[in-house]
Structure 1
Amino acid sequence: MKHGIITKFVLAATAATLFASTVFAGEGAKLVPEPVRAAGKITVGSQQTFPPIEFREPGASSVTGASADLLTEIAKRLDLQLEYVQAEYAALIPGIEAKRFDVASGGISDTEEREQKLDFVNYMQSGGSAMVRAEDADAYKTIADFCGKSVATLLGSRVIMAKVEEASAACTAGGKAEIRAEQLPSAPDARMQLDLKRVDAYLGDFPALVYMGAQFPGKYAIVGGNYMLTPYITSWGFSKDNTGLRDAVKVTLQEMLADGAYKAIMDKWGVGGALLPEITINLPASKR
């Protein structure tokens, strides 16, 4: 009887191990295109200056952040390595089109306009907000308060710029001065312009602004506390002829949602509130 119990235990343990391996390998691994499998890696284009989503610590060579950790886990489950290619935000879509890398990352958002060129795996809810110097916090409540003022945002931030242009048109229609917008290559550049008082606000992703503000306690404030200029869905971009890798990443992240790994990584970086209830392809904020 005792031998039978041990045998059943061993068989059950073996089955559990096999099941765990199958789950870990996942369905996504079967979808990896042969050229990517042969190369053994996924190349990721990223500005690497977008905390807490994807960035490098001063003096560090490795990329870290919520997106970086998600992609690292996805690559691990696909039995691939990750290789980062530094690219400014405005160069991410052209970089995919030129085959410089497999994935465009680092805070890019899915829009219907961008879907004409790329496909997107959606992984995070986000939105554009405005960060100002702490001493100016009481002066601004919404974008309408920036009539006649200047703002900075990242070069290529079409979603945010569209809202700024809309608000600026409302300013002039109401007899006020327009909002002046300056587009800069990176978040540190925009913050520097704010520090130098050359602009009155930095417009960027809410999670990134909160993280940046936390690095300099008392120096900055988010307009309205958590004012969202516009909602959007942060995503990874793929070439339209690379649907195999796109689907492999999507399916694997969906598995990570189911087993809790997705939430654990997002919570680690303080963006657990930005979880998507389902991992989707080409579903921007405008369609939700």
Structure 2
Amino acid sequence: MRKSLKRPLWLLTVLALAALAALGAAGCGSDDDSSTTSTSAPASTSAGTGAAGAIAVPEAIRSKGKLVVATDPTYAPNEFVDRDGKTIIGMDVDLAKAIGQQLGLDVEVQKATFDAIIPGLAARRYDLGMSSFTDTRERERTVDFVTYFNAGTSFYVRTGGPDITTLEDVCGEKVAVEKGTTQAMDVQRQNRSCDTPADLQVYPDQNGANLAIQSGRADVGMADSPVAAYIVKQSNGQFRLDGEPYGTAPYGIAMPKGSGLEEPVLEAVRAIMRDGTYMRILRQWGVEQGAITDPKINGAIS
């Protein structure tokens, strides 16, 4: 874990505005695309000692001494690229490093497109996926999860754009979402009930969706509630949140099915909740409203 997790507000603002200005720079995708970019970000975590190294992990993991964690760094404040252009930072990264310390393992963060992470886990290219994954029953058929956070979906629009208060209001609108997300599936399902279906625009990453709204190609954006709030906060008044979040569901740390990491990761999450590390990380990234107290293995609610 980094020596100091605190980041001044001006730095977060600079990072977010840079992301909005470069809105197509990073990549994301769909659950059936196995392509990936395995660009490692420097990992500052060192192996834990004493109690931190006491949680048993599978020998294959212990022998290599590290966890390879895949993330798509286009989803601030949960995971995004620092202003050096290569270091991946955010809530999920800091939580991954804290979990690694509890397991007595280094953490190597690798950049991958969102929709390539689950196939990559299934192929055992990564040990964990921490990229704001909603734990769903469909995804549980391919990977195992340990829940650690709750988030819903929020709508955001350009200032002066349409009023969107419920999912039904997207009918007839141009909607920009990231490929492979639950939001994309929500709009597809809603379109079956629309007299005039939404024009669903699916972009390879969240930055592309933001740019579509900023440029007027789309009217409405949808993202996980902490991410949408962050996008709006850092947009200098270009965007506004609309309506209330819907569909609150657990985020899950993803891992290969039957990897033997489920119980160790669950125990590590419980440990960082007990010692205060978990809430400290969430507060430092401004996402404490999503905190949970009872992590579970495969805790999907839908």
- The TM-score range, normalised by the shorter chain, is 0.7 to 0.9
Structure 1: where are the runs of 5+ without partners?
A: 1-20
In the alignment, what sits opposite 1:255?
271
TM-score, reference length from structure 2: 0.80
8 Å CA contact 1:231–1:285 kept in 2: the answer is: no
**The residue matched to 2:85 in structure 1 has which SS?**
coil
Cα deviation code 1:133-153 (max 9, x no counterpart) = 11216x222222222111111
Q: How does 1:220-235 map to 2 (within 5 A)?
A: 220-224=239-243, 227-235=244-252
Q: 2:167 aligns with which of 131, 143, 155?
A: 143
Cα distance in 2, alignment partners of residues 166 and 79 from structure 1 = 44
1:165 maps onto 2:184 in alignment: no
Q: How does 1:189-268 map to 2 (within 5 A)?
A: 189-224=208-243, 227-243=244-260, 245-268=261-284
CA RMSD of aligned residues (A): 1.6
Cα distance in 2, alignment partners of residues 253 and 241 from structure 1 = 19
Q: CA deviation at 1:271?
A: 0.9
In the alignment, what sits opposite 2:134?
109
Q: How many residues align?
A: 254
Cα distance in 1, alignment partners of residues 198 and 249 from structure 2 = 22
In the alignment, what sits opposite 2:8?
none
**The residue matched to 1:167 in structure 2 has which SS?**
helix
In the alignment, what sits opposite 1:25?
52
Q: CA deviation at 1:170?
A: 2.1
Cα distance in 2, alignment partners of residues 75 and 281 from structure 1 = 18
Q: CA deviation at 1:91?
A: 0.7
Q: 1:69 aligns with which of 87, 94, 99?
A: 94
In the alignment, what sits opposite 2:297?
281
Q: CA deviation at 1:49?
A: 1.2
Which has the larger displacement, 227-236 or 105-114?
227-236
8 Å CA contact 1:130–1:229 kept in 2: the answer is: no
Q: CA deviation at 1:30?
A: 3.1
TM-score, reference length from structure 1: 0.83
Largest Rg, 1 or 2: 1
Cα distance in 2, alignment partners of residues 197 and 229 from structure 1 = 25
Cα deviation code 1:115-169 (max 9, x no counterpart) = 11100011100011111111216x2222222221111111111x32332123222
Cα distance in 2, alignment partners of residues 161 and 285 from structure 1 = 18
Q: CA deviation at 1:77?
A: 2.2
Give the % identical residues: 29
Cα deviation code 1:229-287 (max 9, x no counterpart) = 422211111111212x222111011011112111111111111111112111111233x
Q: 1:186 aligns with which of 177, 195, 205?
A: 205
In the alignment, what sits opposite 1:15?
none
Matching residue's letter, 2:170: F
Cα distance in 1, alignment partners of residues 200 and 263 from structure 2 = 37
Structure 2: where are the runs of 5+ without partners?
A: 1-48
